[in-house]
Structures are given as structure tokens and as C-alpha cells.
Structure 1
Amino acid sequence: MKLYRDQFIRYIEEDRLIVSVKEARHLEKALASPARVIFLLTGNIGVVKRYVQLFQQEGKLVFLHMEKIGGLSCDKEGMHFLSSYLKPTGIVSTKNSMIKLANRLGLLTIQRLFLIDHDALHHGLQSVEENQPDAVEVMPALLPSYLDYLRSKTEYPLITGGLIQNQEQMKLALCHGARAVSTGTPVLWKELPTDVKNSYCTL
């Protein structure tokens, strides 16, 4: 049974914002954010455990992006190292094999999909149903009509991110069914998008 799943779902539904940390210089700003879910896309195996612990000490849930952590191999051994030593809440990955293995190890999983074309959309939906992640992150975020479509096709919570530059773009994605928006723009980490908090808005 996965730990923290209910807490994760509650946090993204209440906060509607996920902080995506892409540079080590932004760690302090991420720590200060009211958002309680962190995507970590920076660091290497020499420092990332300390990063994970920093956020966990502040009560935040930390997800490592497997493909972005230097020196962490995207294979069975790398996943076992992550699970037993780094001990994040879960992972973000585009790789089916990593999602499946992380699921078996009891980690929370977020499958990242890039909507390049209709084939990618169709293949992504198939992968999600096969892999059964805890949530799906759809990129880029500036495709609200596809969020409507995806929400009608899958029961998994939808997160969206990529190319977000302002609160209005975040609000648009949330209005179209995203549970939360992930962003690597530090200026957007300071406050939660409260005008759409706890409910879907109508445009």
C-alpha cells in the first residue's frame, strides 16, 4: 500500500500549485512557497538526498524527476537506490518501465506525457492505463481543450505544466480540469491560485 497518496491528492486539490525546482539557486524560494508538493528536477546523487530532506523537514512531499538527477540511472538498480536511500515521496518520469517499478516499490508515481500530436496523445493514454500511475502530468499546459478531452478519458488526477508564464494561464488550465499546475517560474510560487481553489471554475 502506497504511503502518502491521500495526502498528495488532498494537497494538490487544495493548493492547485506544484513547485517545479529546476535550479539549485531556487531551493530557498521553493522552501518558502505555500505549495506543499515539490517536483525536483535539479541536483545529482551527491546532493539530492540533502535536497529531499530539506523539503521533507518542512512537511512538503517531494517527487524526483528520474531523468533530471545527475548520476541517477534510469534502471532497476537506480530505482532501488532512489527508493531505499534517497527516499522521496515518489517520482516523475516519462518512462513506462520506471513508473511500473516505482509502483511495485510503493513509491507514488506521476507519469509525464508530452502532447506533440494525436499519436502521442493516443499512445500516452494507453501507457497511463497500463502503468496505473497516481497522477498524470500533461505538457505543455497551454492546451486547455486537450485537458477537457483527457479528463473525459481517464480517471487519474491530471497535473499540467510547461510554458506557464502568469496566473491567468494557470487559471485557464485549472478551469479546464487540471487538479494542479506545476511551474518552474519562481515568481508564481509565492501564492496559491486561490480564486479557483477547491473547485473547477467556469469560463
Structure 2
Amino acid sequence: MEKETILEQFEDYPVIAAVKDEDGLKKCLESGAEIQIVFVLYGDLCNIGDIVDRLKEGGKTVIVHLDLISGLGNREIVVDYIKNTTKADGIISTKSTLIKRAKELDFFAVMRFFMLDSMVYENVRKQIENVKPDMIEIIPGAMPKVISRLCEFIEGKVPVIAGGMIMDKEDTMKALDAGATAISTTRQNVWFM
């Protein structure tokens, strides 16, 4: 799928289902058109292809979080493996080498950052300039002031996803109002707002 199309989907469907187990996968597949984008946060080397296939058959855009798939290392070859052996539309990682490799392969890339202290702002800016992810995801996402400051700090150079700790509609709306393009959550009640 074209990167522009994926970015448009994030704008049109700003609630991303983050699937962490088989139960979440089933609920996501039962959702029909309500859920368009899925972040896969579980699986292993042996079953990730099947997980992605099931989601693609359900009409979903699928982004695989490489750091959370058992049996995959942190070398660039894992990006090649996911791109060449699954139908995934892209990857998520905290590792700049994996994001760089995804970009080399013209594979959609989301770089995840943990917002632990004020020094992270500068790190995010440097990574955006050096690695050039298609989007960034910040954790935790239930921090509207931090989202707003980050969006100002990076000057709109890359869209922001707010993930983690998004518990309800109020958290979702605050994150989006603060400047996030989308939110990701494992909370199934938020998927169907």
C-alpha cells in the first residue's frame, strides 16, 4: 500500500486497534469497517505471517511492532523478513537501525518513543532528522500538554500517534485536540467509540 494512502487512513480513522493477543485479534476481525488500522503487538517468528494474513483478509492495514515479536532480533534483516514473508504494510520499532532499513525498503515505518523526561524532545527531533520515520508514536499518550509541546517542537515534520494509557473517549479527544494525528490502544472499548 502506498505511504500516502496509509497516512490518509490514519487521518480518516484516528483510532488504531493495538492487538496484543488472540482475543483482541478476533474482536478486531469482527469489527468490520470500524477498525481500519491495526498495530500487531504479539506473535512470534512462526505465526506472525498467519496473524498478518488474517488481518489482511479482514481488509485491515497492518503494522507489525518488531520489538514485540518473539524470535526476531534487532538486526536490519528482520525488516526484510517481515516485508518479504508477510503482507504487512509497515513496522513499528524503537530502534533507529530498523526504521532506517524500512525506509530503504520503502516500507512504512513508525518510530516509537517513550516520553520519560524533557531530554526526549531533542532526541525525537534528532531521530526525525536522521532516520526520517513516516510517523512517530509517543508513549504514554495520555499527556495532552506533552503532545502539544512535542508537535510544536518538531514543527509538523512528522505526524504523531499517541499510544499507551489511552483509557477512554476523553483521553482520545484530548490527545487528538493536542495535535496527535491518531491514537493507538489495546483498550477494546476505545476501538468502538
Provide TM-score, normalisation by structure 2: 0.93
1:7-86 pair list within 5 angstroms: 7-33=5-31, 34-86=34-86
Contact 1:148 1:177 in 2 (8 A): yes
1:145 aligns with 2:130: no
- Name the CA distance, whole Å, in 2 between partners of 1:120 and 1:99: 18
- Name the CA distance, whole Å, in 1 between partners of 2:165 and 2:76: 32
Residue 120 of structure 2 corresponds to 120
Please tell me the residue identity of whatever aligns with 2:3: R
Structure 1 residue 58, shift from structure 2 partner: 2.0
Could you report, residue by residue, the CA deviation over 1:166-194 in whole angstroms, capped at 9, with x for unpaired residues?
11111110111111110011121123xxx
Cα RMSD, aligned residues only: 1.2
- Name the CA distance, whole Å, in 2 between partners of 1:112 and 1:8: 17
Identity between Structure 1 and Structure 2 (%)? 28
- Name the CA distance, whole Å, in 2 between partners of 1:24 and 1:107: 25
Residue 166 of structure 2 corresponds to 164
Residue 4 of structure 1 corresponds to 2
Contact 1:24 1:43 in 2 (8 A): no
Residue 195 of structure 1 corresponds to none
Query: Any runs of at least 4 consecutive aligned residues in structure 1 with deviations exceeding 6 A, and if so which?
Result: none
Structure 1 residue 159, shift from structure 2 partner: 0.6
Name the count of aligned residue pairs: 189
Higher relative contact order (CA 8 A, sep 6+): 1
Task: State the SS of the aligned residue for 1:174.
Answer: helix
Structure 1 residue 92, shift from structure 2 partner: 0.4
Please tell me the residue identity of whatever aligns with 1:187: N
Structure 1 residue 127, shift from structure 2 partner: 0.8
Residue 179 of structure 2 corresponds to 177
- Name the CA distance, whole Å, in 2 between partners of 1:187 and 1:148: 25
- Name the CA distance, whole Å, in 2 between partners of 1:129 and 1:106: 17
Provide TM-score, normalisation by structure 1: 0.89
